[in-house]
Amino acid sequence: MGDAHRRLRSGTVVLGGMGLLAAALTACSSEPDQRCVDRDSYTAARGYRIVSDKNCRSAKTAVDGTWYYGGRKNGGWISGGSFTTPRKGSGGSGGSSGGHGSGVHRGGFGGGKGSSGG
């Protein structure tokens, strides 16, 4: 009984460690989360319509394709992201916080007047 219980815990630790490794690799990816969208398709209810990447790679397309970073995908639509390329190494999906960076803000001694933590 003791060996079976020990093996189960060991397997759980390995699986949990693999999940953490996958999350870390995803967060450190050099490629930002980007999708090609039709800039002219915006609706308040849905956001922007996702289109084929070829619309962002070529100027000779019928759609005004533009790269869109971050956001939440819902079917063939996306919202809550930004047209601004995230800074390299920011680790966030970028742009979804109203123009303020989504990175970690670290305080220190003499943090300045009026600064807030969020």
Give the tens place of pLDDT for each residue, 40-76: 999 999 999 999 999 999 888 889 999 999 999 999 9
Q: What is the DSSP letter of 63?
A: S
The Cα–Cα gap between 45 and 59 comes to 28
The residue ranking higher by pLDDT, 74 or 106, is 74
pLDDT at residue 107, as a whole number: 54
Say yes or no to pLDDT of 38 above 80: yes
Question: Which residues does 88 contact at the CB level (< 8 Å), separation at least 6?
Answer: 30
User: pTM score, two decimals?
Assistant: 0.50
| 11-20, 32-41, 45-54, 77-86: range with lowest mean pLDDT | 11-20
Q: Is 77 helix (H, G, I), strand (E, B) or coil?
A: strand
Buried b (16+ CB within 10 A) or exposed e, 21-40: eeeeeeeeeeebbbbbbbbe
